[in-house]
Structures are given as C-alpha cells and as structure tokens.
Structure 1
Amino acid sequence: MAHELKDVVAMSAEAFVPVMEQYGEDVWNYLYMLTRSRELADDLAQETFIRAYRHLHSYRGEAAVKTWLLRIARNRWYSYRRLAFVRRVTLTDRLPETNASDSAEEEFLRAELTSEVWRTVLELPVKYREILMLRAHYEMSMEELAEALGITVSAAKSRLQRARRKAAELWGEERSEA
C-alpha cells in the first residue's frame, strides 16, 4: 500500500517512518547506482529523507511519492558532486570489506549486479544509466522520468532511446570480446 503524504504540514517524524520504510530501499539502490559507493549511498539516502521531511510542505502531490523522493535523492547527489569537485575530493569505495552480514540492500544490489546486462548499464555514462535504471527497475512512465530528471517528456524519450542504443553497442563489444 503506497503511503500518501496527506496533511503533510502536521506530519510528525514518527508518521514519516512508514514512508522511509517503504521507499528506503528504492532510494538507496538508486543512489548506489549513481555513486557506486555504499558509504556515500548511505549518507545521501539519509540526507534525502531528512530533506524530504523538512520540505514536506513543498510536496504538491503532482508526482508519486517515490518519484518525488528519487528527485530529491538525485538533487542531493548533484549537490554532493558539485561540492566534491570544488573541494577536489573524490570518494571511492576502496574500503576493505567487512565480515559483517550484508544488509538487504547490499544483497539485492549484488544480485542485480550479477547480471551481465546490469554490469553493462553501470558502465554507461551517468545520464544514460540513470534513465535506464529508472525506466527498467522502477518502471517509471515517460512523464515520471521527465519529472524525476527535470527534463521534458520528449527529452526523456530521446535520452532513453540513446541510452538503449549505447547499452546495445557496449553489450555487443563485451560479447565479441568474450
């Protein structure tokens, strides 16, 4: 059952918890796909929900809650990148693996990444892998894609077509090398 953000101005932190529970995995997976860093995805997902809670009053209900949250996540990632570039800081996921049991998100992502198709998608430039992930994994409509990415519907269609073409080219190159 999708959580609607009714009476958002009066929503308490406790009332927001089910929203975080329902969409947390989607937000984290999306951010991991963008960042390729577990630690950074954790941080940005937390920032996403903090920002969403603080700006509940700005949610107009024009987009689905998930679309709204993914857009906030994307904006948090762009803000991070801008600041990281200015500071000349690059975070990587070169930290040693721990023996702790994997989280549900890590297990899910590992299963997804075992697929050759998703490995190919992750090699694409961000703007292409992002639209393919939103369309294929989150099953967003063209209108939702446009809203989440902050572009027009026609630009979303064009970008999706280019992304599919690039993925097919890359897939063909990888298959011929094998």
Structure 2
Amino acid sequence: MEISTEEEKELIAAAAEGDRRAFELLMRSAQQQVYTLALRLTKSEAEADDITQETFISAWKHLPSFRLEIPFRAWAMKIALNKCRSFWRWSSLRRLVSLETPDDGTDEHAPQGREFEDHSLPRPEQACESLERAAMINKALDTLSAKQREAAILRGQGLELSEIADIMRTAQGTIKAHLFEARRKLASALKEGL
C-alpha cells in the first residue's frame, strides 16, 4: 500500500492522537517490508512474525515521539532492525546456555518451520529450484558481517542510502563501503556455489 508524504503526515498526526484506524493504514504501508527484513535477518517465519508484531506495538507506543522528517517506513524498519539485533543477542545466549546443559536428544531451540515457502509455484521442480536458490542466497548472506548483511538486505528492500544510514545510525559513506564489500562477497560466494 503506497501513501503520499502528505497523507502519511496526516495519518501520523491522527495516530499520535489515538486514531487506531490511521495507525493501521500506516502499519499496512510498511508491514510487508518489515516482515521481509525480519525474515531475512532471522531466517525464521515464526520469529519474523513476532518481530513484525513487536515492531508495530513499539511504534504505536512511541508514535508521539516520532520525527516527521523521516518516512514512517524507515522508522519502522529501524525499530525492526533493533528487534532483530535483540533476537540475535538472545539467540546467542540461548545457544550458549544449551551448550552448557546436558544433551537429552531434544532441542527446543532448533529452528521451526521452513526458511522459504512459496505456495504460488505450480510445479515441484520450480519449487525445488527456488528453495535451492534461496538456500544459496542465505548461505551467501551468512558470509557477510552483520553490518554488511543489514545494509544489503535494507538496500534490497528498496531503501535509499540516506534511509539506510538513518536506520543503521551510520554515515552514508560507511553504508556505501558496507554495500560494496557485501556485493563483492556475495558475488564471490554465489559464483562458488554455481
């Protein structure tokens, strides 16, 4: 759902006054990109759903402090990125704890669900190729540093350099360097995988 800058400002003002319908329209305008960002960073549909929900709950709570000079979508993506970073910290802590506990054959922290699922593909061969391609891209993304991966995924979401810099709280020149290095590493990793 695409909304103009003026419409967005009006919706933000209304939502800040408690208008849930206005906030719902704002949320719909950014929801798919927030979910896709969370899915790419966590590689878990369940975690992406949770992070998307937490992102918009947090946005609703903090809407009165929203700065109108940045787009709502960029602000929501910044919140989602911070939620993903928290997820990584907790995931690392859970793995550390599970390494210290005896193994009884069950792994309650193992990823659940599929990393990629596309019901629109008509034939199994195409679905298999898509899954292989997605796995190869995920593996290539894993070769990047956290900052390079975040910048590459945000750029892949169609964000401008200035928006990415604002979301990641980094200078545009640094973002360009992260993207350059990410492209180089991804090209190399994907070339090796072919």
Q: Quickly name the TM-score band, shorter chain normalised.
A: 0.7 to 0.9
Q: What letter matches 2:112 in structure 1?
A: R
Query: Which structure has the larger Rg over C-alpha atoms?
Result: 2
What's 2:185 paired with?
Answer: 166
Report how many residues are paired.
Answer: 165
What's 1:122 paired with?
Answer: 138
What's 1:39 paired with?
Answer: 46
Equivalent residues of 1:70, 1:148 under 8 A apart: yes
Equivalent residues of 2:52, 2:80 under 8 A apart: yes
Equivalent residues of 1:37, 1:93 under 8 A apart: yes
Question: TM-score, length-normalised on structure 2?
Answer: 0.72
Q: What letter matches 2:149 in structure 1?
A: R
Equivalent residues of 2:35, 2:49 under 8 A apart: yes
Q: Structure 1 residues 119, 77: closer, same or farther in 2, change over 3 A?
A: same
SS in 2 for 1:62: coil
Q: Structure 1 residues 34, 161: closer, same or farther in 2, change over 3 A?
A: same
Q: Structure 1 residues 120, 67: closer, same or farther in 2, change over 3 A?
A: farther
Answer yes or no: is 1:155 the counterpart of 2:174. Answer: yes
Contiguous gaps of at least 5 residues in structure 1: 98-104
1:68 corresponds to which of 48, 70, 75: 75
Q: Structure 1 residues 80, 133: closer, same or farther in 2, change over 3 A?
A: closer
Aligned-residue offset at 1:12: 2.4
Aligned-residue offset at 1:58: 1.8
Q: Which moved more, 1:17-26 or 1:63-72?
A: 17-26
Q: Deviations over 1:92-132 (max 9, x none)?
A: 4334x7xxxxxxx9549998x92877554422234333222
Distance 1:22 1:38 in 2: 20
Distance 2:111 2:166 in 1: 30
Contiguous gaps of at least 5 residues in structure 2: 99-107, 122-126
Aligned-residue offset at 1:91: 4.1
Distance 1:79 1:63 in 2: 23
Question: TM-score, length-normalised on structure 1?
Answer: 0.78
The percent identity for this pair of structures is 28
Equivalent residues of 1:52, 1:69 under 8 A apart: yes
